[in-house]
Amino acid sequence: MQTSESYIGSPPLPEPPDIVTALLDDPPDVRWRVVRQLFRIKERRDREVLIQALQPCLYEVDDFRVKSRITLALQALHRPLDIKNYVLLKEKGAFKPTEVEAFGTEEIGESAMPNFFPVVDFHIHPKTPDLKFFADMHEAGVTHGVILATDTDPNDVERPEIRNMLKEAFSSTTQSSHMPFESLLKHIKASLHSPTHVSNQDVADWVRDYPDILIGFGSVNLSKDPAYVERALEELERMNVRGINLLPHAQFFNPSDNENMAVLSDYCRRTGSIIMSHSGCAPGPFEIPELCRNARPNLWEPFLAKNPDVPLVLAHFGSYSKEIPGLWLFEALQLGKKYRNVYADLAAVEWLLDRENVVQEIRKTIGFDRILFGSNYPYSLATDVSLAYIISGIKANTNLTPKEKRKVLGENAARLLNIA
């Protein structure tokens, strides 16, 4: 099969039977390795051959994760990607053809970035094709990206202790008067096996392919038994990820009362890993604040008191919520004031910097040395807000000093991640 001219230096594409076999037989949690290759197929007839081979498989496989992977593959084949004015270079990212001509395929890199200084996106969900992803990064001037895995299990909601916890939390909400609890569980379960979730292996594959641009954070579900957690951490250590992404609301654990926190802290101290923890609400059923109590920032205080040397990044600054924007911002600020190893990212809540009173509170508490830019990419694209638009808004922000802007957009993250 021929590869599109937009991909320079990529390895040859596998033959159609090998692609079908990999999609069916790869480990169920590996969702994107083969799918990413399908966007490179040049000829329509090659895509049609694969569509005909894969379509029947949707009805023959039982594992929902494999079914989801085949669905992603069919979507990629039906909707080939054509990003005009960009080409993708192996290991280096996306560039304009004129830049490739000017610098050459070997020397091109940061030298082709306009107005270069480190711009680090600390919160990316790698769920878009390589060319689209890196073209958006280049257009926005992003030099490095932290990509996040998500270890969630839809079957967790059937565990009695988790089911009872959700039922108790839901019973205190106004929504419980018009939505049956079983309907809520179905919504939660669906959100936890979203076909766009990214596995640890997916993150490792991305970082292997683009080691100079991407930094990987794995994920481990701390509500599981200690044996599961220890195996997962051993796997992450072999993958050489830089941090661990946790979602207390969707992994159903309380950071202040969890038997796996000790092994987590030991792992982080031994490997120098950073913890990122979702704080605030989340789209879908987790927009209900009562269901996200485990994602309150102050639940991390016992861990922080024992582990002052383990960096903790509060994703979304404790502030994401459609119902109550900024709902736990004060908790995050006070936690950052008390513990110097607390950081916060602005994913989906960059609007906080438009509030002069919030900016003043940040200066008085956590300070701008520990605020990190995060885009929540690609979710921002769903509202037609580009990565470039978000970054240009921060650059134009009149509430911040030029020095604070540089810190937020990249210098803080570069220091935390040891990016030269």
pLDDT attached to residue 294? 98
Give me the amino acid identity at 26: D
Cis omega (within 30 of 0) on the bond before 289?
A: no
The domain locations on the chain are 7-78, 144-417
For residues 66 and 28, the answer to whether their CB atoms sit within 8 Å is yes
* Residue closest to 136 by CA, chosen among 86, 79, 80: 86
DSSP string, 282-324: -SGGGGSGGGGGGG-GGGGHHHHHH-TTS-EEEEEEEEE-SSS
pLDDT for position 116: 53
What pTM was computed for the model?
Answer: 0.94
What would the pLDDT profile of 153-162 be if each residue is shown by its tens digit?
Answer: 999 999 999 9
SS3 176: helix
pLDDT value at residue 106: 65
CATH 3.20.20.140 is right for the domain spanning 144-417: yes
Phi, psi of 83 (to 5 degrees): -95, 110
| Neighbour count for residue 343 (Cβ, 10 Å) | 24
Three-class DSSP category at 180: coil
Residues 6+ apart with CB under 8 A from 186: none
The whole-angstrom distance between residue 225's C-alpha and the CA centroid of its chain comes to 24
Low-confidence ranges of the chain (pLDDT < 70): 103, 105-117, 194-196
- Full DSSP string of 65-131: HHHHHHHHHHHHHHS----TT-EEETTTEEE-HHHHHHHHHHH-SGGGSTT-S--EEEEE---S-HH
Helix (H) or strand (E) holding 163: helix 160-171
C-alpha angle with apex 405: 403 to 408, nearest 5 degrees? 110
The confidence score (pLDDT) of residue 322 equals: 94
- Looking from the CA of 229 toward its CB, the CA atoms found within 13 Å total 20
